[in-house]
Structure 1
Amino acid sequence: MSTAGEARLARWERKVEWPLTVLAVLFLAAYAWQVLDDHAAAHLPLEIVLWLVWAVFAADYVIRFAFAVDKFRFLRTHLFELAAVVLPMVRQLRVLRLITVITLLNKKFQHKIRQRVSIYVAGVTLIFGFCASLAVLDAERHAENASITTFGDALWWTMTTMSTVGYGDRYPVTGEGRLVAALLMVGGIALLGVITGTIASWLVEKLRGVEEAELETAQELRNLRAEIAELRAELGARRTG
């Protein structure tokens, strides 16, 4: 019974993987258009598109929860998606469903773990940063005493926040903007940790490779010396013979 349920869940996830990815890209495009063009005549249609895509993601979550055999484990391992479904008023969280795109690209590099990490880090950083910039601009632009009023301001604030520099020349003043800031700070620290770990791993492997090459060279020299010694011994034996 459990095996059948897991198989149904796996089949469903394979079936909807690409359609949901396309919808995620559509969601990001519609949301970016709505935020960057604040006076767009298509504001209402774009809002309808955003809610329809959210409804599809919510339905997908409910269906996968129904197929899951271990319901508690499913909830525990899909907390982010649960928050995006339960808290639809925080629209900015839902754009992170685009991480699916990174997962799909990652499949091409399953045999190269470092390339997988690099793709994850680069992709998640770009998506996370772009979405955070849109989110904080959407939350702050019309607030009183706001210092983040353009997309350029939002990008600058995002870069300084993710890198933990925090100049303080731009900062959120709304509750929603501060929520975005909190998520961005936590995500930035995590990404920096992954990047640092990846670089450290690469350096260790390179140093290990140099040491192994030196050991191989030393072993080859010892073998050559042993062969030369044997040849000398044979020549000496022939001469005396």
Structure 2
Amino acid sequence: MSARTPDRPPPALTRWEGRTEVPLLAASLVFLAGYACRVLAPDDAQPWHDLSLALVGGTWTLFVLDYAVRVRLSGLGLRFPRRRWLDTLVLVMPLLRPLRMVQVYTAVQDKRDRPRLGLYARVMAYAGMTALLLGFSAALGVYHWEHGAPDASIRTFGDAAWWACATLTTVGYGDAVPVTVMGRIIAAGLMACGLALLGAVTGAFSSWLIQVFRREDEEGPPASG
């Protein structure tokens, strides 16, 4: 009895995802800019707050429409949130949209033929960009919830950025720690994301090295003159 192969998405859904991946990534950057403006702008900067609200609301509406189209094209109906849990997660928390890179890495690993070496380099580059975006997003979220809390050790955005770097790299110096419930939830999410990103990078790098060594073995040593 042959092993069961994972279900492949319908061709229509694959085409839709290919066409919208880059525009939605750009929309996620706009969402991040709006959220950053909302968090970092002074309380009396009313025009900036209105602009940030418009950017966040407009881009999130695009994410909802995209999610609805994915549900329709997938043919899964109510099973879609369970089967495509990452799509559901980034809809609820758009700042996590760069985590879709993990799906790219999974697709590379699932290829039966040997992927091109350049594809591994793209995964590693995308993982680096994802780490920067997630670290910036987490710093914004923690600063938003922490800077006004009693006994908080994260008072400035610089403190939040330093904390995000230490957490994302799993170093964790402990000089800046969240004290609010939401801050700790964000911290737990960043820890998990950091592990996922490190796994994707190290896995892609290891696969790249194996491909290089395998090609060298197949080519054999150079013939002596």
Q: Give the TM-score normalised by structure 2.
A: 0.74
**Pair 1:116–1:73, CA change in 2 (3 A):** farther
Q: Once the two structures are superposed, what CA deviation does each residue of 1:185-223 show, in whole Å capped at 9, x if it has no partner?
A: 11112222333334444555666677778x624xx34xx
Q: Is the 8 A contact 2:120 2:204 kept in 1?
A: yes
Unaligned stretches of 5+ in structure 1? 88-92, 105-109, 225-241
Report how far residue 6 of structure 1 moved: 3.3
- Secondary structure class of the residue paired with 1:35: helix
Q: Is the 8 A contact 1:35 1:138 kept in 2?
A: yes
Which residue matches 1:83? Answer: 89
Which residue matches 1:24? Answer: 28
Which residue matches 2:136? Answer: 130
Instruction: Give the 5 Å matches for 1:10-89.
Output: 10-39=14-43, 40-41=45-46, 42-71=48-77, 74-85=80-91, 87=92
Instruction: Give the 5 Å matches for 1:1-241.
Output: 6-39=10-43, 40-41=45-46, 42-71=48-77, 74-85=80-91, 87=92, 93-98=93-98, 111=116, 112-202=118-208, 216-217=221-222, 220-221=223-224
State how many pairs are aligned. Answer: 204
Q: Which amino acid aligns with 1:174?
A: T
Which residue matches 1:227? Answer: none
Q: Is the 8 A contact 1:21 1:101 kept in 2?
A: no
**Pair 1:103–1:142, CA change in 2 (3 A):** same
CA distance in 2, matches of 1:102, 1:197: 11
- Secondary structure class of the residue paired with 1:131: helix
**Pair 1:155–1:14, CA change in 2 (3 A):** same
Greater displacement, 16-25 / 111-120: 16-25
- Secondary structure class of the residue paired with 1:173: coil
- Pair member with larger Rg: 1
CA distance in 2, matches of 1:13, 1:201: 26
Q: Is the 8 A contact 2:124 2:205 kept in 1?
A: no
Greater displacement, 56-65 / 193-202: 193-202
- Secondary structure class of the residue paired with 2:175: coil
Q: Which amino acid aligns with 1:29?
A: A
Greater displacement, 32-41 / 12-21: 12-21
- Secondary structure class of the residue paired with 1:216: coil
Unaligned stretches of 5+ in structure 2? 1-8, 105-114
Report how far residue 82 of structure 1 moved: 1.7
CA distance in 2, matches of 1:196, 1:18: 25
Q: Which amino acid aligns with 1:137?
A: Y
Q: Once the two structures are superposed, what CA deviation does each residue of 1:32-79 show, in whole Å capped at 9, x if it has no partner?
A: 122222423221342243123212211221222122223366323432
**Pair 1:69–1:46, CA change in 2 (3 A):** same
